[in-house]
Amino acid sequence: MAATISDKAAIVGIGSTEFSKDSGRSELALAAEAVKKALDDAGLKPSDVDGLVTFTIDQNEEVDVARAVGCGNISLYARVPYGGGAATGTLLQAAMAVASGVAEVVVCYRALNGRSGQRYSAGVSGTLITGSAIHYGYYMPFGLLTPASWVAMFTRRYMHLTGCTQDALFEIAQATRDYAVRNPAAFFYQRPMTRADYDAGKKICNPLTLYDCCQESDGGCAIVVTTPERARHLKQPGVSIRGVAQCIAKDQEEMTSFYRPDIARIPEMDVAADEAYAQCGLSAKDIDAAVIYDAFTPIVLWQLESWGFCKYGEAADFVQAGNLRPNGRLPSNTHGGQLSEAYIHGVNGIVEAVRLVRGTSVNQPKKAVHHALVTSGVGVPTGGAILGRMT
């Protein structure tokens, strides 16, 4: 049964800090700035906020963000687990809260010093806690320690089964790079990449090389969610949350679901996609543009299949036909993605999806964008959201 939260909440504000490799300030400073910018964008005051949602791995305590920004009484605070898998999960929490009346103005935020502080590329080590440590214990002694290594294992299997080649991975990397070249906020602004550049990238975990892997960035992003009624009286045109869903699918592990009958796909994203579409009665043909979580190039392929833009095993052909490009079927990651703009755990992707619907992306497609898809990190429990113009 599809949840009944479609169009019960709208995004009315977005805010980001600059993205960098060394912010020179605290994660709390980044969070506070992003939240304030999102509220300014919406034309709301800190005292209007009564809900805060973030990632479990975010280091900024709700009380600290609320005090720093000057919020009043907060009646909803919730966190979503599993790294980047939480991105659109924060929208689900916010939408449920405003739809039920538990809160009226909810800010989702994520801020990290992901390059100058703790780097996720350093992988797991012996200093993990309890359940997570036992789990990674089956991989650490063998040297399968980093996100790239886990994703490589799925990628090799997918390539073996579908005939997908490095050409498809290159196309995903270069498409985001070409968008970033025109985005002043992007790390790779004005720095295009040729196939030779790509092929010269350092070996990471084959088949993944350097430019198949996302940035490591410092920065913060925030999203303001409120009721459709209130959204009508604010500064920006409201962007409706048409559908939003998350999923832990059968036999899922955190990043290492190696034991399912088939590992060259993302069952949890299949489920979330079906649920999100069912909520709003839309399907893949209704989606005009997308922000597809791109911590690594190959994970884009599997998500295109999950969301029905192509059949299983056909994603390589889909991207190599230029469909992610400005005039393609599905202009995607138009900010440059996490491969080429910045890695803010997918929340910069939500910001971009809102811009696509508002019509304000620096790479706004020529065609009308009625609906944009945005997804969360995969390998972990994941999900996605379908955003549309408020009617």
Partner 1 sequence: MTPAETSAFEAKIRAYVGREMGPPKRGNDDVNLAMIRHWAEVTGDENPLYTDAEFAAASSRKGIIAPPTMLGIWAMEGYPMAQGHTGKVDVQRELHNIFEAHGFTGVLGTNTITEFHRELRPGDQVISHTVIDNISAPKKTARGHGYFIETVTRFTDQHGQDVGRQVFRTLRFMPSAESVAANQAQSGGDAKLKAPTRIQSPRGHDNAWWWEAIDQGKLLIQRCKRCGTLRHPPRPMCGECQSLEWDSIESSLEGEVYSYTEVSYPKFPGYPDPLLCGLIQLKEGTRLVANIVGCVPEAVHVGMKVRGKVERVDDATVLPNFYPA
- Residues assigned a catalytic role: 293, 343
Q: Is residue 366 a contact point for partner 1 (CB under 8 A)?
A: no
User: Closest Cα partner for 15 from 30, 44, 35?
Assistant: 35
Q: Is 149 in the site for partner 1 (CB under 8 A)?
A: yes
**Is residue 184 part of the contact set for partner 1 (CB under 8 A)?**
no
- 129: which residues sit within 8 A by CB, 6+ positions away? none
Residue 4 or 259 having the CB closest to partner 1: 259
Closest approach, Cβ 186 to partner 1, in A, equals: 24
Residue by residue, DSSP assigns 320-388 as: HTTTTSTTSSS-B-TT-IIIII--STTHHHHHHHHHHHHT--TT--SS--SEEEEE--SSSSEEEEEEE
144 binds partner 1 (CB under 8 A): yes
- Cβ proximity to partner 1, 101 vs 143, nearer residue: 143
Q: Which of 73, 202, 368, 391 binds partner 1 (CB under 8 A)?
A: 202
Residue 145 binds partner 1, judged by CB under 8 A: yes
- Give the x/- contact pattern for partner 1 in 314-353, rule: CB under 8 A: ----------------------------------------
- By C-beta, is 207 or 219 nearer to partner 1? 207
**Token code pair at residue 367:** 């065609």
Neighbours of 168 (CB within 10 A): 22
Q: Are strands 382-389 and 239-247 parallel, antiparallel or unpaired?
A: antiparallel
> Closest Cα partner for 185 from 371, 379, 338, 367?
338
How many residues lie near partner 1 (CB under 8 A)?
Answer: 41
Closest CA to 32 of 44, 53, 16: 16
Report the residue from 19, 82, 109, 139 that binds partner 1 according to the rule CB under 8 A: 139
Handedness of CA 354, 278, 259, 168 (dihedral sign): negative
The correct pick among 35, 71, 95, 153 for binding partner 1 (CB under 8 A) is: 153
Continuous H helices in the chain: 27-42, 62-69, 87-100, 130-136, 147-162, 166-181, 195-199, 228-231, 267-280, 298-306, 315-320, 347-358
- Min dist CB 209 to partner 1, Å, is 9
Whole-number CA gyration radius for the chain: 19
Facing residues of 223 across strands? 14, 108
Stretch near partner 1 under the rule CB under 8 A, chosen from 29-37, 72-80, 198-206, 217-225: 198-206
The region of 32-40, 205-213, 280-288, 329-337 touching partner 1 under the rule CB under 8 A is 205-213
Q: Is 263 in the site for partner 1 (CB under 8 A)?
A: yes
**Binds partner 1 (CB under 8 A): choice among 56, 100, 194, 206:** 206
Q: Binding segment for partner 1 among 6-14, 59-67, 93-101, 122-130 (CB under 8 A)?
A: 122-130
Comparing CB distances to partner 1, the nearer of 205 and 300 is: 205
Residue 297 Cβ vs partner 1, minimum distance, rounded to whole Å: 15
Q: Is 52 in the site for partner 1 (CB under 8 A)?
A: no
Query: What is the spatial distance between Cα 345 and Cα 347, in angstroms, rounded to a whole number?
Result: 6
Is residue 169 involved in binding partner 1 (CB under 8 A)? no
Residue 20's alpha-carbon distances to 30, 143, 216, in angstroms, are 11, 30, 9
Q: Alpha-carbon torsion 154, 323, 343, 354, what sign?
A: negative
Q: Does 258 bind partner 1 (CB under 8 A)?
A: yes
Catalog residues that contact partner 1 under the rule CB under 8 A.
121-123, 125-126, 128, 130, 133-146, 149, 152-157, 160, 202-208, 251, 256, 258-259, 263
